[in-house]
């Protein structure tokens, strides 16, 4: 193992490859770059003297991938430090949640790292590699991103939203049509409510907004296809669990099936995503919006 100043020392599980710790080499004790090293750990900022073990490898400064060093001999071999090639397995679950939370907040990598008191390089590593950061690191990141430790760990992913504590002084206000359309945006997942032979029903669908109308794809024999030819309600919402606030938008209008091939083709071309439910969902249903209302919950001014 031969390091240079600025290289990163990565300590990971030899069985799973999950990163347990990561730090920048800030001091060398031998001219040839062999161990030990002074390492500033990204999760704490502390500098410690490190004799790397077999679960550690180097990520050299400015290199995306490094081949393993030559076999280590002499004093360095006595430390048991055999360098291995860094394998980029893509981001892990925590990395994906971190990146998604950062995008929702509209924060850059450097600003998020500054708020969480860590190096941007370490945050980038967490977002792009399988990793298992410590409790303190996750707490600081949750605070910086306005979310919760449980959310970053994925512990609440199967729970319905809205189980957090209500605001002490909430303010519920109606939204104008312009703001409703902005929140409805151009695509996402919403819920369509319609009457069925078995009574009222609500179905989640991937939707698009095209020329002011709401459009979604379904199978001709699927339950949402029954919306065609009737008045329906369509709802989208967002709940910020960490901040106990959120909004909802409700659209009401008459639905129709798209039967003209050219219109269906244009909708296919404009679609941002495929239906999450999969299979062949070739029938487009379009809702011409007659009424559009919405509400938002925020803290009362001065609260």
What is the DSSP secondary-structure string of 221-235?
A: TSGGGGGTTSEEEEE
Whole-angstrom distance, CA of residue 80 vs CA of residue 39: 18
Nearest to 277 by CA among 204, 200, 220, 184: 204
pLDDT for residue 111 is more than 90: yes
14 pLDDT band, cuts 50/70/90, is low
Average pLDDT for 274-288: 88
User: Is 279 found in the same domain as 178?
Assistant: yes
Structure confidence at residue 248 (pLDDT): 95
Q: Are 21 and 115 in a shared domain?
A: no
Give the CATH number of the domain where residue 65 resides.
2.30.30
Task: Please say if the pLDDT value at position 146 is more than 60.
Answer: yes
Look at residue 132 in the predicted model and tell me its pLDDT.
Answer: 73
What is the reported pLDDT for 216?
95
Both 102 and 200 in one domain: the answer is: no
Number of domains composing the chain: 3
Indicate the SS3 state at residue 71: coil
For residues 107 and 17, which has the higher predicted lDDT (pLDDT)? 107
Residue 282 tokens read as 């070739």
Q: Is 159 within a domain?
A: no
Residue 264 covered by a domain: yes
pTM summary value = 0.53
The CATH number assigned to the domain holding 99 equals 1.10.260.40
What percent of the chain clears pLDDT 70, i.e. is strictly above it?
82
CATH number where 256 lies: 2.30.110.10
Task: Give the pLDDT confidence of 113-142 residue by residue, as tens digits.
Answer: 899 888 888 888 888 887 777 777 888 899
Domain that holds residue 272: 170-299
- Long-range CB pairs of 46-54, under 8 A, 24+ apart, other chains included: 50/9, 50/23, 51/79, 51/81, 52/1, 52/9, 52/11, 52/79, 52/81, 53/11, 53/79, 53/80, 53/81, 54/14, 54/80, 54/81, 54/82
Statement to judge: residues 123 and 37 lie in one domain:
no
Within a domain: 83: no
Out of 43-47, 179-183, 296-300, give the one with best mean pLDDT.
179-183
Are 246 and 185 in the same domain? Answer: yes
pLDDT score recorded for residue 294: 96
138 and 114 part of one domain: yes
Mean pLDDT of 92-104: 86
Question: Span 207-224, mean pLDDT?
Answer: 92
Mean confidence (pLDDT) of the chain: 81
Mean pLDDT of 255-270: 92
How would residue 302 be classed by pLDDT, with cut points 50, 70 and 90? low
Does 56 lie in the same domain as 121? no
Give strand pairing partners of 251. 234, 292
pLDDT digits (tens, 9 = 90+) for 149-206: 877 877 666 666 666 667 778 889 999 999 999 999 878 899 999 988 889 999 999 9
Statement to judge: residues 120 and 34 lie in one domain: no
Does residue 248 sit in the same domain as residue 148? no
- Domain final residue pick, 78, 107, 132: 78
Q: What is the pLDDT of residue 218?
A: 94
């Amino acid at each position: 193992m031969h390091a240079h100043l600025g290289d990163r020392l990565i300590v990971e599980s030899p069985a799973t490859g999950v990163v347990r710790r990561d730090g920048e080499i800030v001091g060398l004790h031998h001219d040839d770059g062999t161990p030990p090293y002074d390492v500033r750990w990204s999760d704490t900022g502390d500098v410690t003297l490190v004799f790397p073990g077999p679960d550690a490898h180097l990520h050299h400064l400015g290199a995306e991938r490094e081949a393993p060093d030559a076999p280590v001999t002499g004093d360095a071999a006595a430390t048991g430090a055999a360098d291995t090639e860094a394998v980029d397995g893509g981001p892990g679950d925590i990395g994906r949640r971190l990146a998604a939370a950062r995008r929702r907040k509209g924060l850059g990598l450097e600003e998020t790292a500054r708020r969480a008191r860590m190096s941007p390089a370490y945050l980038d590593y967490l977002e792009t590699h399988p990793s298992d950061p410590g409790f303190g690191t996750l707490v600081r990141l949750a605070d910086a991103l306005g979310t919760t430790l449980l959310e970053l760990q994925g512990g609440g992913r199967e729970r319905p939203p809205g189980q957090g504590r209500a605001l002490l002084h909430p303010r519920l206000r109606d939204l104008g049509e312009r703001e409703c359309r902005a929140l409805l945006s151009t695509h996402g997942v919403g819920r369509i409510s319609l009457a069925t032979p078995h009574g009222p029903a609500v179905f989640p669908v991937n939707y698009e907004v095209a020329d002011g109308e709401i459009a979604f794809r379904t199978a001709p024999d699927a339950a949402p296809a029954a919306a065609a030819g009737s008045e329906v309600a369509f709802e989208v919402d967002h709940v910020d669990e960490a901040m106990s606030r959120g909004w909802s938008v409700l659209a009401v209008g008459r639905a129709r099936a798209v039967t003209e091939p050219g219109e269906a083709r244009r909708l296919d071309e404009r679609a941002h995503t495929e239906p999450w439910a999969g299979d062949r969902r070739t029938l487009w249903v379009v809702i011409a919006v007659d009424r559009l209302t919405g509400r938002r919950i925020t803290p009362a001014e001065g609260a």
